């Protein structure tokens, strides 16, 4: 088409450039770069915004906009002091209507969370060598659809909804209330196809893994509380992600004013899992064994049959080297690191205190890296690039951890031990070496 602007390009070519913009920020910057470009935009505003939205959210754009639309209605209800339960779920559509500026901002936020969750999922279950997603387009679509649907489920049936329902019901009617909520949850999930239910289940179990990481990273004790799987799912995937990234249960605590004590225990203990399992049983869909869980999302897992390079055990994705040592932080608690000390050092309170305190300032991956850099003996053939199973990583670290303690103190680490305790520590270390 002949250019109607002052640009030395046809308007159709400029419009084509719009379709490749990866974010709404890029769109805004492009519009501000030239009045002529803005004139082209004004001829096709809705289609251009939809194209950029697709670049932001990917093929799961309809599911993402379904969530955005619900959150908009929820916010409107809050502004009108309306009840959350009065906000009906919009029907999921395969088409995307006009996207407002506010909707675009909300879409960008949830798409960013979905991208970061996908990167984590890919790294843990698809390709341990890459920190960004290695999922195919189809795998990514499956994963993100499930993520957005769980976000919607959490927003609709989460803490505020459960709290209001609990507040409005007499204690003697609690059983009926719980059953009613369960049936509502099942009705929501019943709109999904069989494969979609298994995809949701797989992503739910992935979130459960992240919650377990958070418990270790945040030094929380196992059991109920904000780091329990059910309550974390009620608060939502975005808070789970933020807690994982900050290595703290804080985002789960701060995401909503409602605590587990405000929510019926029968609800948050089996949130999502209970209605999902009930529906799978109703449809007679076999629940996959643990070793087949991720097949609902992935067609291929890189290194699925890889062996430990130390003991030759087939461990697949459960192997570690310098690419993913940081994931060990979510597996080993500080006292478990102290338990790797050999001989009498394992029982020395001074050594245990040292490891515990250092773990507030350093991390397991840094300790292992420092062992390789400065302490590992020349006779040890183990390399940073070798993929080791968890047991062999522990065995390797155990052989050098007392030397690492010695070097840390020698380099002038902030005093964590009295002089007499340090002398005792060195004596024990020498006895262990002998």
Q: What is the pLDDT of residues 182-211, one digit of tens each?
A: 898 999 999 999 999 999 999 999 999 999
Tell me what pLDDT residue 354 has: 59
Q: What is the mean pLDDT of residues 80-88?
A: 61
Do 238 and 113 meet the contact criterion of CB atoms below 8 Å apart? Answer: yes
Here the tokens at position 381 are 């053939």
Which of 35-49, 82-96, 156-170 bottoms out in mean pLDDT, i.e. has the lowest? 156-170
Q: What is the mean pLDDT of residues 208-233?
A: 76
Q: What is the mean pLDDT of residues 10-34?
A: 90
- The count of residues in the chain is 434
Q: Is residue 252 pLDDT above 60, yes or no?
A: yes
d(CA 131, CA 408): 30
Q: Is residue 49 pLDDT above 50, yes or no?
A: yes
Q: What is the DSSP letter of 99?
A: -
Any idea what the Cα angle at residue 84 is, between residues 81 and 90, rounded to 5°? 120
Which of 100-109, 236-245, 263-272 bottoms out in mean pLDDT, i.e. has the lowest? 263-272
Tell me what pLDDT residue 421 has: 46
* pTM of this structure: 0.85
State the pLDDT confidence band at 311, using cuts at 50, 70 and 90.
Answer: very high
Closest by CA position to 195, among listed 143, 134, 135, 273: 143
Tell me what pLDDT residue 164 has: 47
Output 227 or 305, whichever has higher pLDDT: 305
Closest by CA position to 326, among listed 413, 244, 240: 244
Q: What is the mean pLDDT of residues 410-421?
A: 50
d(CA 89, CA 149): 12
d(CA 354, CA 345): 11
Which of 69-83, 124-138, 343-357 bottoms out in mean pLDDT, i.e. has the lowest? 343-357
State the pLDDT confidence band at 267, using cuts at 50, 70 and 90.
Answer: low
Which of 15-19, 154-158, 175-179, 336-340 bottoms out in mean pLDDT, i.e. has the lowest? 175-179
Q: Is residue 426 pLDDT above 50, yes or no?
A: no
For residues 72, 74, 79 and 84, what is the CA-based torsion angle, rounded to 10 degrees?
Answer: 170
For residues 388, 389, 390 and 392, what is the CA-based torsion angle, rounded to 10 degrees?
Answer: -60
Q: Is residue 414 pLDDT above 80, yes or no?
A: no
Closest by CA position to 155, among listed 232, 67, 223: 67
Q: What is the DSSP letter of 202?
A: H
Q: Is the dihedral of CA 325, 330, 331, 332 positive or negative?
A: positive
Tell me what pLDDT residue 355 has: 64
Most confident of the ranges 88-102, 234-248, 266-280, 341-355: 234-248
Which of 29-33, 53-57, 62-66, 225-229 bottoms out in mean pLDDT, i.e. has the lowest? 225-229
Q: Is residue 67 pLDDT above 90, yes or no?
A: yes
Which of 286-290, 348-352, 353-357, 421-425 bottoms out in mean pLDDT, i.e. has the lowest? 421-425
Q: Is residue 109 pLDDT above 80, yes or no?
A: yes
Residues 6 or more apart in contact with residue 63 via CB below 8 angstroms: 92, 144, 145, 148, 149
């Amino acid at each position: 088409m002949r250019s109607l602007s002052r640009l030395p390009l046809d308007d159709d070519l400029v419009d084509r450039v719009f379709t490749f913009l990866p974010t709404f920020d890029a769109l805004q910057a492009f519009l501000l770069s030239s009045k002529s470009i803005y004139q082209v935009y004004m001829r096709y505003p809705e289609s251009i915004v939809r194209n950029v939205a697709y670049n932001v959210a990917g093929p799961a754009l309809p599911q993402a906009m379904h969530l955005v639309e619900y959150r908009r209605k929820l916010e409107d209800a809050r502004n009108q002091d309306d009840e959350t339960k009065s906000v009906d779920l919009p029907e999921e559509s395969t088409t995307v209507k006009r996207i407002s500026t506010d909707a675009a901002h909300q879409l960008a936020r949830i798409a960013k969370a979905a991208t970061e969750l996908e990167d984590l999922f890919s790294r843990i279950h698809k390709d341990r060598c890459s920190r960004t997603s290695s999922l195919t387009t189809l795998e990514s679509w499956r994963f993100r659809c499930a993520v957005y649907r769980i976000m919607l489920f959490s927003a609709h049936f989460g803490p505020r909804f459960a709290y209001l329902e609990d507040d409005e019901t007499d204690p003697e009617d609690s059983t009926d209330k719980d059953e009613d909520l369960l049936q509502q949850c099942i009705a929501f999930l019943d709109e999904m196809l069989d494969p979609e239910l298994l995809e949701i289940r797989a992503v739910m179990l992935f979130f459960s893994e992240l919650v377990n990481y958070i418990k270790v990273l945040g030094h929380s004790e196992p059991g109920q509380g904000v780091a329990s799987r059910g309550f974390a799912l009620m608060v939502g995937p975005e808070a789970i992600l933020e807690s994982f990234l900050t290595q703290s249960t804080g985002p789960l605590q701060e995401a909503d004013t409602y605590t587990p004590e405000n929510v019926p225990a029968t609800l948050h203990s089996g949130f999502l899992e209970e209605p999902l399992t009930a529906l799978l049983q109703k449809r007679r869909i076999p629940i996959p064994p643990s070793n087949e869980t991720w097949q609902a999302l992935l067609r291929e897992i890189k290194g699925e049959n890889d062996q430990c390079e130390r003991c030759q055990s087939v461990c697949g994705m459960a192997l570690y080297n310098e690419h993913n040592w940081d994931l060990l932080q979510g597996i080993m608690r500080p006292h478990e690191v102290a338990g790797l000390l050999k001989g009498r050092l394992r029982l020395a309170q001074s050594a245990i205190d040292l490891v515990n305190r250092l773990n507030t300032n350093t991390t397991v991956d840094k300790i292992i890296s420092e062992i390789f850099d400065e302490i590992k003996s020349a006779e040890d053939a183990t390399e940073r690039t070798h993929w080791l199973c968890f047991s062999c990583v522990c065995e390797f670290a155990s052989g050098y951890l007392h030397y690492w303690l010695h070097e840390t103190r020698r380099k002038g680490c902030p005093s964590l031990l009295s002089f007499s305790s340090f002398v005792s520590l060195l004596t024990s270390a020498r006895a262990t070496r002998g």
